[in-house]
Structures are given as structure tokens and as C-alpha cells.
Amino acid sequence: MRTSSALRPVDRFTRYLPLVGVAALLVACSRPEPAPEPVRSVKLMTVGVSPLEAQVEYAGEVRARIESRLGFRVAGKIIKRQAELGQRVKAGDVLAQLDPKDYQLATEAARAQVAAAATQRDLAAADFKRYAALKDQNFISGAELERRDTTLKAAQATLDQARAQLASQGNQAEYTRLVADASGVITGIDAEPGQVVSAGTPVVRIAQDGARDVVFVVPEDKVGLMAVGQEVMVRGWSGGDSIAGKVREVAASADASTRTFQVKVAIDRAESPALGATVYVTPKALSHAGTPAIKLPTSALRQEGQATAVWVYDPASSTVKSQVIQIATADGNEAVVASGLAPGMQVVSTGVHVLSPGQKVTVYQQKYAPAPASTAQQATNSVAPASSAGASAAAAAASASAK
């Protein structure tokens, strides 16, 4: 039996098979090199100073300077109400009426007491006259005449008291009619016929003719800037010319529920809007219109922790870096920057959330100018007839195939 020193091909493949497997395993475990990060294109804006445009406005309401809540001076049941909401009344017009029967009966009783007191006074006067004649004849003493004089004076006092009571009852009966004490407009109804009210309960509200006020409220952080005599501009909700007014009154305490302070502005009645109309009030003391400031669109802002930041472009290295800024307020849809930027800086205006510090970027350049509105309209008009013609042809082909 001979042994050959040469290896067969199958034995060679079997010999190197483990090495091939190890190489394949190493290739599979190795990570591919990451692709280079693409250079992003960004839109830039140059920081500049421009005047503020937004103004502080508050919603207000036109009211009468004097608005009274009228009620009966006596208690009773309302049997009639002549006043209606929005009705114009004059001084002396009857607004409502109570049932006067009880007060009429009390007046009759007081009148009877006056008659009785007058009779007693007349009797005492006649008695005193008779005793005075007897005293002249020395038939009675002076003390007896003095007693008759005292009786006469007491009867006279009782008569005066009864007359005063009659006058008071007459007034009570007259108070069953609620009368307007000034000309104006009925702005509210607080009681209806058939309702029993006590003395002083409000029945109607009347806005008296005369001066008009615009009433609005301001928050606590703005009330310190409001003072009596300041100029205010008022414009109607539905438009029209603005009206000049002056602050007449600033509330000394805040409203219990809203925690706001009421401000009243005096305006010219001849130019004032309708009573109860909604208006917009612009206090000049709170207006910053025209003040130069740095403004940025909200798309340029991003949140960096608890601070607000923007991306500032460095033209030397074509990279961006983060810059923390302070926002003072808003001017329309733009943010007003208090600090952190200077005029002339270039800031990324869009796509700020996909950038990182030191990232290389390119400046976006608009290739095509937007088409004018007239050109776009002509293109739309030319496409519309072509679409209509295509639709008609398609309908005709479908009808032919159906036949």
C-alpha cells in the first residue's frame, strides 16, 4: 500500500475552510464608515433696527357717566310697569306703580285723625274763652284759667301732629308711583309686575343724558402707568375715526374676581359712539409705537435649556454658532430682542432645529423670482379652458364607446 504526499483538491478546500469563515466573520462585524454630514443650506437675515408697530389696546364699553338704579321708597306689590328696556324717558315720566290701596286707607285714617284733633282743639278753645270771661268777672281763679289754657295748647299740638301725619301718609301714597328724576334711556329691568318688593329694591336702571365715559380695565402691572388727565385714543369696534379722550378716574382697588383695575375715560358726547357700544382704547402712556428696536421672526428662535437662543452665521468659516438672547416683548408676529444681538449680525431665520454648533452651512440663494400676480392669473386662466376642453373630449369618447 502506497501513501501519496500530494493532497487532493477536496482536502485542500477543507483545510482552508476555517480561515475563510473567520475572515467572513471579521468582515461582517466591522462597521462601515459613516457618510459625511451634508452641508445644509440656510436662509439668513441681517439684524437691523426698525420701529415698533404694535400698540397696547384694551376693549372698553361706552357708558353714561351717571347710571341710576331707581326703586320705590315704600314696599308693596308691583301692579304695572310702564318702562321698557331701551325706552327713552323724560323727567317726571311714570316708570312703574305699586298697589296703592293700603296707603290710601292709611291716608284716610290720618285725615280722620286730623278732623278729630281739630274738634278737640275747637272745644278747648271755646272752653278757654268761656273761662276767660268768668275770670274777668272774678268768678274763677287765675290757676283755673291757666289749666284751660294748657288744655288748649295741648289740643293745638295734637292737631299739628295729626296734620303732619296726614302729610306723611299722603307722601307714602304718592311714593307708590315710580317717577324718573332725569331724562335718559332705560338700560335695565330688575323687577316685573306681580312682584312684591321692599323699599329701595332696584326696579329699573336709567342712563341719564349728559356726559359719556369709556370704561375698560387694565392689569395690575399697568395700573401704575395710568394717571388722571392722560390722553387716550378711542376707536369704534366697527371702524370710523378715532376719538380723543382723557382719563377721568382710576380705581383705587382691584376687582375681587378679575383682579383688574377699572379706568374711566371722559369723551365728547357729540362724537361718542352709541350707548353700550364696544370700543378699542389705546392709552398713549402704554404705547411704544415708533420706538426703535431689534425684531426677529419667531421662526429664528429656539429653546436652549431655559434660555432663548438663535444661530449666528460666521461668514469667515461658513459655520453657525449659538447665541443666547433676551426677549422683551412681541410686536405683532415678531419678537423684540432686548439684548444678545447687535445690528449687522447675520441670523439663521428658518430651519434652526436641524443645526448644531460649529456646523458648516451654505447660504440659500433663491434661483427663481416669484411670478407676478398678473402672470399667475393668466396662467390659471389658460389652464382652465384647456382642462375644460380635455374634459369634454373625454366625455365624448366615453359616449362613443358606450354606443
Query: What's the average model confidence in pLDDT over 341-369?
Result: 85
The Cα 43–Cα 350 span in angstroms is 6
In this prediction, residue 386 has a pLDDT band, given cuts at 50, 70 and 90, of very low
| 295-304, 360-369, 379-388: segment of lowest average pLDDT | 379-388
% of the chain exceeding 90 in pLDDT: 45
| 50-64, 82-96, 156-170: segment of lowest average pLDDT | 50-64
User: Which contacts qualify for 298-306: CB closer than 8 Å, 24 or more apart?
Assistant: 298/333, 298/334, 298/335, 299/349, 299/350, 299/352, 300/45, 300/347, 300/348, 300/349, 300/350, 300/352, 301/327, 301/335, 301/352, 302/352, 302/353
In this prediction, residue 266 has a pLDDT band, given cuts at 50, 70 and 90, of very high
Q: To the nearest whole number, what is the mean pLDDT of the chain?
A: 82
| Residue among 226, 247, 243, 245 nearest 235 (CA) | 243
Q: Which amino acid is at 327?
A: I
Cell of 155: 289740643
Asked if the model's pLDDT at residue 284 lies above 50, the reply is yes
pLDDT digits (tens, 9 = 90+) for 373-384: 444 444 445 444
> In whole angstroms, how far apart are CA 68 and each of 31, 164, 250?
87, 31, 20
Q: What is the DSSP letter of 353?
A: G
Q: What is the dihedral of CA 49, 50, 55, 56, to 10 degrees?
A: -10
Asked if the model's pLDDT at residue 202 lies above 60, the reply is yes
| pTM of the predicted protein model | 0.56
What is the set of domains in the chain, with CATH numbers? 100-174 (1.10.287), 210-286 (2.40.30.170), 292-363 (2.40.420.20)
Q: Which amino acid is at 143?
A: A
